[in-house]
Structure 1
Amino acid sequence: MIGLIIIGDEILSGRRQDKHLSKAIELLSERGMAVSWVRYVGDEPDRITADLQHALSSGDVVFSFGGIGATPDDHTRACAGKATGRELVLHPQARDLILQRCKVLAEQEGKPFEPDSADTQRRLQMGFFPVGADIIPNPYNQIPGFTLEGRVHFLPGFPVMAWPMMAWVLDELHADLHGQGQLAEKAVVVYGAIESVLTPLMVEVEARFAPVKVFSLPSVDHPVHGRHIELGVKGGAPDIEEAFAYLQQGLLKLGAKMGPILVRNQA
């Protein structure tokens, strides 16, 4: 499964709108993969640590967005250390990349590069990762993210950096998972139906055709179909056909009025 942890008080307060979820869905879908779960958490070290402990113990591939900078409200690197019980150390590749970035910035500003300056030392804090971490290259400004256990990946909160870094991780570290989240949906519009009446049929279909899942999307003011329920099944493409046929027969027995059939591919 693929999980996301999206970190930052600014997301929870509404000062910034989260864009990572929709982009992650897009990046995964392009590779035949899908998001299984998402957690939003503020800049609270204990909660971040708990979510990272869950991620590390879950066996899932997890992307954590935000909090890996060097300001006082950036807690993710320290929380990753606590979650793993490992010391934070300056990663040698991260050190070289950050020093090179500092040198370029100094040249752009027409100033001498001072590797021992307070500003450079603050920037180097962004290269302190838990022992055993591997870096994730950052094509935007070369300040890397990092990976733990080969499957929990730590990215910046800035979309311009995080999204190409996520794409790199998916292609370079998880190419073997491409296509494994490919799902199909098949649904029918049911007019004037009540979900409570349809629920026994939904339960029966799920029990009979597991792991196919049944879904119900009610609408009261659709511009074309008016009040209706979009009732369908989702799962592996070969698995849903028999389940959907059984669902249709059940609807006919209930005397339901059915409209168009909708077919979609996910991820």
Structure 2
Amino acid sequence: MPSPFPGMNPYLENPNLWSEVHSRLIVAVANAIVPQLSQNYRVAIEKRTYFNVSMELVGIPDVTVISRHFNSIGTQPTTTQHSSSTSVLTRVEPTLVKLPMPSTIKEGYLEIREGFNGKVITVIEIISPTNKRSGLGRDEYEKKRNAVLHHQTNLVEIDLLRGGKQMPLLEVKTRDDYRILVCRGEELPQGRLYAFSIRQPIPIFPIPLKAGEIQPEVNLQELLNEIYDQARFDLAIDYLLEPVPPLKLKDREWANVILQEQRRR
């Protein structure tokens, strides 16, 4: 069955699904761009790899064990009266805790390169949850982003996640559900922001190349709908539940009507 939403499907943002959505979307965008490029360009799928240590679980016990008092012969005290000469010992039992474990994070992105010299003309990023949380993932992404902008390379930044902290932009005070940022190197520091809500179709946007060249266009809505069908995400989503992260109240009411009309609820 097709996705029930006219735009971004909020259920695809679930951390249990997003990694697969991200991987499939990277490939789909690359395949959509290639036929629109001249023979001078190629689209490379690259990966950014780093180690991340989550501190969220530090010191959270699986089981809480309360210390018990034992008397001098090693048995638990009872209500029986003991003489004052009987010593009482405290035996400390261990508590199970979780340690912060390092994990390898791999994030895919696209580079449009000149075929004869490999020069990077455009970088295309699809934002991941780790990029929107404080920590190494965001630090690494912002470092890469700043390097791209510093060298005045074209940048396309696709953010299809409602949760987390959005990427920094000057003079933009509103918080939209989703964003697509298109920056031409020669026009920096200006960029073109496509901001849209969960109720709107994802806008078609251009991929900047060199000045004067025809820009390929990406119909991300069409690509996501195809991915939804190909991956059979309908079998992995329970529309009786609320999406993760949850929707705002008015959007939740709107989504409920949509899902009921399509008999998903």
Normalising by structure 1, what TM-score?
A: 0.21
Larger Rg belongs to: 2
Higher helix share: 1
Taking structure 2 as the reference length, the TM-score comes to: 0.21
